[in-house]
């Protein structure tokens, strides 16, 4: 298919028109990739034509189900049209002929991992997150709605990006360059106090929802990653956060909230957020409230550990001070039964493998299987992907990682996947 067969753009450029044009183009791109080098795992010759994209058999590996902890040696996973048809011991299922095979003898096979907090702003970042093991992800916001475009890229070309829940732009007092992300936001640039009033907060959430955001990202505290900011300074009150949550809920969406101070975390949780991000100084009373409300905790241990290695002395000191406190909070949360989700908080071209966060969850004191669940079944539930991500069972997405040994024995293997399969395609 060549571009000449793509219809010209509509006379009047509407958002719907643009999306329709993109769909036509993506169809041609998918056709190109199906016939091109992305089909490397396909059998040669006549069979090639009978193996559409998204068909794959992973055979001979040791299959680990994070939901049950069950381990199956010499397993066969059959993926057809991007979804798991069957998964289990060899000999107990129909293995179709003419479908590409991935030999996993001597390897371990797991469902693709979920990164519940990542900032994907470029095609390269999206691809790198995938090749490092994240087959599904939730955005922690991007400056110009790039995450919404990444989500569409992932839908049309699954081997290019993780399946993504997009957050749009950050609901924060100072929108910075994001006032340029949509013409509807320009008026907010002139507000003397920034985005703080109820109408301003509602406006940002509503523009996000109109742009197709799946979740809303806000904050209660300043940032830890900037030396000039005080991460314990509170930027939004309980009432302001409740306004954000209410606006998101009117659109059927949930809120993830960046927070550090105990008071800030407590206000955010009471305001009805779905997940608390970072949460270094979250206290016991808030953790009890989180358990009661089933609020998730996404500690982003990898990001805080990264601060400790910063060249900036203020950030390095902050990281060294915060990390043991956060580890203790993670342990306390797990003991109380607060649901935990793994998120790397990767951004700006530096993509941390999601397996590294799982490793840090284990190091914080979680049993190995529970640590793995924070990036599989647990995170899938947070993203509304139960039945799609987190397991390799019939009907689930054909997303898998193949690692060189038992990840429950050595969690660092998760950071170095040998193969990543996304919707039955080798990523
Ligand atoms: Zn973030």
Q: Per the structure block, which two tokens stand in for 12?
A: 């009047």
Structure confidence at residue 51 (pLDDT) = 55
Average pLDDT, stretch 318-323?
A: 97
Distance 417 CA to ligand 1 centre (A): 24
Over 90: is that where the pLDDT of 205 sits?
Answer: yes
Q: Which of 256, 294, 299 is nearest to 275 (CA)?
A: 256
Question: Same structural domain for residues 280 and 311?
Answer: yes
Structure confidence at residue 94 (pLDDT) = 87
Over 60: is that where the pLDDT of 352 sits?
Answer: yes
Structure confidence at residue 93 (pLDDT) = 83
Domain assignment present for 226: yes
Residue 80's domain spans which residues? 49-112+390-427
Band the pLDDT of 36: cuts 50, 70, 90: very low
Over 80: is that where the pLDDT of 3 sits?
Answer: no
CATH number at residue 172: 3.20.20.140
Question: 207 and 180 in contact (C-beta within 8 Å)?
Answer: no
Average pLDDT, stretch 168-193?
A: 95
Question: Same structural domain for residues 336 and 225?
Answer: yes
Task: Give the tens place of pLDDT for each residue, 86-95.
Answer: 999 998 888 9
Structure confidence at residue 27 (pLDDT) = 44
Question: Same structural domain for residues 322 and 283?
Answer: yes
As for how many domains the chain has, the answer is: 2
Over 90: is that where the pLDDT of 161 sits?
Answer: yes
Question: Same structural domain for residues 102 and 136?
Answer: no
CA distance 61 to 404: 10
Question: Same structural domain for residues 283 and 334?
Answer: yes
Distance 410 CA to ligand 1 centre (A): 27
Question: Same structural domain for residues 290 and 179?
Answer: yes
Domain assignment present for 127: yes
CA distance 210 to 220: 24
Question: Same structural domain for residues 107 and 120?
Answer: no
Question: Same structural domain for residues 314 and 356?
Answer: yes
Distance 103 CA to ligand 1 centre (A): 37
Question: Same structural domain for residues 171 and 131?
Answer: yes
Over 80: is that where the pLDDT of 184 sits?
Answer: yes
Question: Same structural domain for residues 330 and 181?
Answer: yes
Q: Which of 415, 319, 323, 330 is nearest to 365 (CA)?
A: 330
Distance 344 CA to ligand 1 centre (A): 8
Distance 395 CA to ligand 1 centre (A): 31
Q: Per the structure block, which two tokens stand in for 117?
A: 């907090």
CA angle at 13 for the pair 8 and 19, rounded to the nearest 5°: 75
Structure confidence at residue 384 (pLDDT) = 98
Q: Per the structure block, which two tokens stand in for 262?
A: 């105990």
For residue 236, what is the DSSP state? S
Over 60: is that where the pLDDT of 29 sits?
Answer: no
Distance 117 CA to ligand 1 centre (A): 6
What percentage of residues in the chain have a pLDDT greater than 70? 88
Structure confidence at residue 25 (pLDDT) = 52
- Residues with CB under 5 Å of ion ligand 1 are 140, 345
Over 70: is that where the pLDDT of 14 sits?
Answer: no
């Amino acid at each position: 298919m060549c571009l000449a067969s793509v219809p010209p753009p509509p006379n009047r450029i509407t958002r719907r028109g643009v999306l329709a044009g993109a769909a036509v183009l993506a169809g041609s791109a998918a056709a190109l990739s199906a016939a091109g080098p992305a089909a490397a795992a396909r059998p040669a010759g006549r069979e090639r034509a009978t193996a559409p994209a998204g068909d794959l058999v992973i055979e001979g590996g040791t299959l680990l189900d994070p939901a049950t902890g069950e381990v199956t040696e010499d397993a066969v996973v059959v993926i057809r049209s991007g979804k798991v048809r069957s998964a289990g011991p060899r000999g107990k299922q129909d293995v179709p002929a003419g479908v590409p095979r991935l030999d996993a003898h001597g390897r371990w096979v797991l469902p693709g991992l979920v990164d519940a907090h990542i900032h994907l702003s470029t095609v390269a970042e999206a691809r790198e997150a995938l090749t490092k093991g994240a087959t599904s992800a939730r955005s922690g916001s991007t400056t110009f709605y790039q995450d919404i475009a990444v989500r569409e890229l992932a839908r049309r070309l699954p081997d290019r990006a993780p399946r993504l829940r997009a957050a749009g732009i950050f609901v924060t007092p100072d929108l910075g360059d994001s006032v340029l992300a949509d013409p509807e936001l320009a008026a907010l640039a002139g507000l003397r106090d920034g985005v703080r009033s109820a109408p301003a907060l509602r406006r940002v959430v509503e523009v996000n929802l109109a742009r197709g955001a799946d979740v809303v990202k806000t904050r209660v505290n300043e940032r830890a990653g900037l030396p000039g900011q005080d991460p314990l300074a509170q930027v939004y009150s309980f009432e302001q956060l409740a306004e954000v949550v209410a606006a998101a809920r009117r659109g059927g969406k949930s809120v993830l909230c960046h927070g550090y101070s105990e008071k800030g975390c407590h206000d955010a949780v009471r305001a009805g957020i779905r997940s608390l991000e970072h949460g270094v100084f979250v206290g016991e009373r808030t953790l009890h409230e989180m358990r009661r409300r089933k609020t998730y905790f996404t500690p982003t241990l990898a990001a805080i550990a990264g601060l400790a290695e910063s060249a900036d002395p203020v950030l390095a000191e902050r990281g060294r001070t915060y990390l043991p406190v956060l580890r203790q909070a993670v342990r306390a949360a797990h003991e109380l039964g607060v649901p935990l989700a793994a998120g790397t908080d990767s951004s700006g071209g530096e993509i941390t493998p999601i397996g590294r966060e799982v490793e840090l969850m284990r190091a914080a004191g979680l049993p190995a299987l529970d640590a793995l669940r924070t990036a599989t079944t647990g995170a899938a539930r947070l993203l509304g992907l139960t039945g799609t991500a987190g397991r390799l069972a019939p009907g689930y997405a054909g997303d898998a990682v193949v690692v060189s040994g038992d990840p429950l024995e050595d969690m660092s293997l998760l950071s170095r996947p040998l193969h990543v399969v996304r919707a039955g395609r080798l990523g």
